[in-house]
Amino acid sequence: MAEELKATRPSFKPALSKAVTPPTAKPEQASPSYTWKDFQSDQDVRWCPGCGDYAILKAVQRALAEIGRPPHEHVFVSGIGCSSRFPYYVSTYGLHTIHGRATAVATGLKVMRPELAVWVITGDGDGLSIGGNHMLHILRRNVDVQILLFNNQIYGLTKGQFSPTSEFGKITKSSPYGSADWPVNPAAFALGAGASFIARGMDRDPNHLVGVIRRAYEHRGAAFVEIYQNCNVFNDGAFFVFTEKDTKPQAALFVEHGKPMVFGANRDKGIRLDGLKPVVVDLSTGQWSVDDLLVHDETDETIAFILTRMFDDPKHLELPRPFGVLYAVRRPTFEEVLREQVERTIEAKGPGDLRALLFSGETWTVV
């Protein structure tokens, strides 16, 4: 397998001078025909029956089949949590690392092996609590890695303590009188951290999720995908208002680049801007038409700000919750910048000599 990896390693030539206008997408892959089963491992899946993780696993396997790269060119890196068991269940390379540190390991891997597709699988606890600091840095550095954050608003693996995304007042075993924490808004956090790609999907809409995962893969740079995942054991129904048939049309807004923001059971509602404030308008009264609505532009940071801030309490929704690609812009990746810097320095100063460097100053012998 190691030989196969070496054989597929292309020469890496970053073109930084074109950093402002290069394509946002990765080059097309030759697409041998894979099915999702080619990405299924022989391991017993140890999630609780009914866990939303199963649907996400299947959606990722379907997306990998559509992407068409051979399994040995993908690496899944995870931290700790139920969701972080993921690398065992995909037949690709994988690393099950330590709590909150998948992003740090993935950064090192991508810098050294930029030709590999590197994925991070993390939970809301793993990625935003103990790993929040590392998440900030992978996003601002724009390492070309796909980050799939499974948000179930709870610690699943450790049996139901509140997490950084749990709602204010959440009663759990570790917050018997209600959590006093204001929750992290993951998409807004990603935008604030300087992410170049932000999207949201849900376990219960796998077709949409496959599309979002593919878009994340095609993006060059850190792609942050928040996925609503039902933990049916410790936090059942946390997202049902957005995912279930009867409430989803009113509660979820599916955004598409270049399209007006329409939602509702009969596509009879829309989002209009009042100054910079998004408001819901009724398209059935004749007062407003589709032409009055906000048109989604993935590259517009102000629109991204508005969309990520549409984060009402699900019990008292005024605005729908947006799903899809909220933001996508191209800027140089960390590994491109680093590699160009190394190449330029080697050109100017020669390849360097680590031993000579280590012995270049004063040295001591410790006895």
Ligand X SMILES: Cc1ncc(C[n+]2csc(CCOP(=O)(O)OP(=O)(O)O)c2C)c(N)n1
Contact residues for ligand X, defined by CB under 6 A: 80-83, 99, 123-126, 130, 150, 152, 154-158, 163
Closest approach of Cβ 125 to ligand X, in Å? 3
First-to-last alpha carbon distance for the chain, in angstroms, is 44
Instruction: Copy the structure tokens of residue 160.
Output: 């139901």
Which CB atom, from 67 or from 231, has the smaller least distance to ligand X? 231
Length of the chain: 367
Which residues are at the interface with ligand SF4 (CB under 6 A)? 47-48, 51, 53, 82, 152, 156-157, 231-234
In angstroms, rounded to a whole number, what is the distance separating the alpha carbons of residues 2 and 206?
33
Identify which of residues 104 and 231 has a Cβ nearer to ligand SF4 in the complex.
231
Would you call 147 exposed, middle or buried from its count of C-beta atoms within 10 A (0-12, 13-18, 19+)? buried
303 binds, among ligand X, ligand SF4, none (CB under 5 to 8 A by kind): none
Q: What single DSSP character describes residue 147?
A: E
- For 200-247, the DSSP string reads EEETT-HHHHHHHHHHHHHBSS-EEEEEE---TTTSTTTTHHHHSTTT
- Cβ(241)–Cβ(230) below 8 Å: no
Binder of residue 121, out of ligand X, ligand SF4, none (CB less than 5 to 8 A by kind): none
Nearer to ligand SF4, 111 or 149 (CB): 149
Closest by alpha carbon to 125, among 115, 135, 117? Answer: 135
Closest distance between ligand X and the C-beta of residue 99, in Å?
4
- Which of ligand X, ligand SF4, none does residue 87 bind to, with CB < 5 to 8 Å depending on kind? none
CB 57 → ligand SF4: shortest distance, Å? Answer: 11
Q: Which does 29 bind (CB under 5 to 8 A by kind): ligand X, ligand SF4, none?
A: none
Instruction: Decide: 231 and 154 in contact? Cβ < 8 Å.
Output: yes
Q: Which does 126 bind (CB under 5 to 8 A by kind): ligand SF4, ligand X, none?
A: ligand X
The count of other CB atoms within 10 Å of the CB of residue 348 is 7
Q: Which does 99 bind (CB under 5 to 8 A by kind): ligand SF4, ligand X, none?
A: ligand X
Q: Which does 233 bind (CB under 5 to 8 A by kind): ligand SF4, ligand X, none?
A: ligand SF4
Strands (E), the chain: 74-78, 93-96, 117-123, 146-151, 197-202, 223-228, 252-254, 262-263, 269-274, 277-282, 321-328
User: Which residue lies nearer to ligand X by CB, 26 or 46?
Assistant: 46
Shortest distance, CB of residue 130 to ligand X, whole angstroms?
6
The DSSP result for 40-62, as a single string, is: B-SSPP-SPTT-THHHHHHHHHH
**CA 312 vs CA 61, 70, 225, 308, 321: distances in Å:** 32, 41, 19, 11, 8
Q: What does 92 interact with, of ligand SF4, ligand X, none (CB < 5 to 8 A by kind)? A: none
| Minimum gap (Å) between residue 134 Cβ and ligand X | 13
Q: How far is the CB of 103 from ligand SF4 (least distance, A)?
A: 20
Quick one: 148 or 304, whose CB is closer to ligand X? 148
Cβ closer to ligand X: 122 or 333?
122
Residue 53 Cβ vs ligand X, minimum distance, rounded to whole Å? 7
Question: Beta-carbon neighbour count of residue 364 at 10 Å?
Answer: 5
Question: Between residues 126 and 340, which has the closer beta carbon with respect to ligand X?
Answer: 126
